[in-house]
Structure 1
Amino acid sequence: MSEPEILIEQPNNRGTLYAIVEQDDRAAYFYLYPSELLTTKYSPRPCWLRNLQPAPEKKDVAAMKEGMAPMLEASYCNHPEGKEPLEKERITFVWMEEGDGAAVLYDGEILGVIPGWSLYKDEHAVAYAADCIGAGDDDRLMPLGKRGVNVLYGRVDQAIAFWNEWTEASSQTWGILQDKYIHAYEAAFGTIQQYYAIDGGQWPPMALGKFEKEGIIYLVTMGVGIRPMPWVELLYSERAPGFRRMELAMACSKKDFTDKEVMTMAGIMSGLADRPWKQITWLGEGHTISSDELPAPFESLVVSAALYDGPSIELPELYGDKVNLYWLSPITQLEREFAHHKPNAGYDLLEKMINNNINHVVTKRAELSFS
Structure 2
Amino acid sequence: MSDPVMLIEETNSRNTMYAVVEQDDRVAYFYLYPSELMTNKYSPRPCWLRNLKPAPEKKDVKAMEEGLAPMLEARYCSHPEGKAPLDPELIRIVWMEEGDGASLIYDGELMAVIPGWTLYTQERSVGYAADCTSGGEDSLMFPLGTPDTNQLHKKVAEATAFWDDWSDETSQTWSILQQQYLDAYEAVLGPTVKYYAIDGGQWPPIGMARFEKDDVVYFVTLGVSIRPMPWVEILYNEKAPGFRRMELALAVSKKDFDEKTIMSFAGMVSGLADRPWKQITWLGEGHTISFSELPAPYESMVLSAALYTGPAIEMPVIYNDPVNLYWASPITKAERLFAHEQPNGGYVLLEKMINNGINHLIQPRKEVVAG
Range of TM-score over shorter length: over 0.9
* 1:6 paired to 2:6: yes
1:48 corresponds in structure 2 to: 48
1:362 Cα offset (Å): 0.6
In the alignment, the residues of structure 1 paired with residue 308 and residue 324 of structure 2 have an alpha-carbon distance, to the nearest angstrom, of 12
The alpha-carbon deviation at position 123 of structure 1 amounts to 4.4
Q: Could you report, residue by residue, the CA deviation over 1:90-135 in whole angstroms, capped at 9, with x for unpaired residues?
A: 1010001111110011111111100000101124521100000111
Q: Which residue of 2 aligns with 1:363?
A: 363
- Checking the alignment, whether the CA contact within 8 Å between 2:307 and 2:350 is kept in structure 1 is yes
What does residue 108 of structure 1 align with? 108
The one-letter amino acid of 2:80's match is P
1:86 aligns with 2:124: no
**Following the alignment from structure 1 to structure 2, what is the Cα–Cα distance between the partners of residues 91 and 74?**
25
Please say if residues 117 and 124 of structure 1, whose CA atoms lie closer than 8 Å, have aligned partners that are also in contact.
no
1:136 positional shift? 2.3
> Distance between the aligned counterparts of 1:169 and 1:241, measured in 2?
28
Partner secondary structure for residue 298 of structure 2: coil
* Preserved contact between residue 42 and residue 122 of structure 2 (Cα < 8 Å): no
Unaligned runs of 5+ in 1: none
Q: Is the 8 A contact 1:93 1:104 kept in 2?
A: yes
- CA distance in 1: counterparts of 2:67 and 2:137, whole angstroms: 20
Question: Cα 1:65–1:124, aligned 2, differ >3 Å: closer, same or farther?
Answer: closer
Q: How many angstroms does 1:171 deviate by? A: 5.7
* Root mean square deviation, CA, Å: 1.1
**Corresponding residue for residue 297 of structure 2:** 297
Q: In the alignment, which residue of structure 1 is the partner of 2:24?
A: 24
* Distance in 2 of aligned mates of 1:88 and 1:254: 59
Percent identical residues: 66
Q: How does 1:1-371 map to 2 (within 5 A)?
A: 1-169=1-169, 172-370=172-370
Query: With structure 1 as the length reference, what TM-score do the two structures score?
Result: 0.98
* Secondary structure in structure 2 of the residue aligned to 1:286: coil
Distance in 2 (alpha carbons) for counterparts of 1:171 and 1:36 = 34
Give the TM-score, by structure 2 length. Answer: 0.98
User: Secondary structure of the equivalent of 1:161?
Assistant: helix
Counterpart secondary structure, 2:149? coil
User: C-alpha distance in 2, partners of 1:369/1:201?
Assistant: 41
Cα distance in 1, alignment partners of residues 270 and 92 from structure 2: 33
Query: Does the C-alpha gap of structure 1 residues 171 and 364 become closer, same or farther in structure 2, counting only changes over 3 Å?
Result: farther
Label 1:171 to 1:201 Cα distance change in 2 as closer, same or farther (>3 A).
farther
Alpha-carbon contact 1:302-1:330 (below 8 Å) kept = yes
Deviations 1:200-234 (A, max 9, x none): 11110000000011011001000000000001111
Kept after mapping to 1: 8 A contact 2:165/2:171: no
Distance in 1 (alpha carbons) for counterparts of 2:123 and 2:343: 22
Q: Report the CA distance between 1:172 and its aligned residue.
A: 1.6
Tell me the SS of whatever aligns to 2:260: helix
Task: Tell me, yes or no, if the aligned pair for 1:45 and 1:125 is still in contact at 8 Å.
Answer: yes
Residues 284, 303 of structure 1: 8 Å contact kept: yes
Kept after mapping to 1: 8 A contact 2:31/2:45: yes
Q: Distance in 2 between matches of 1:364 and 1:292?
A: 18
Alpha-carbon distance, 1:370 to partner:
4.1
Residues in 2 aligned to 1:320 and 1:335: alpha-carbon distance in whole angstroms:
36
The aligned length equals: 371
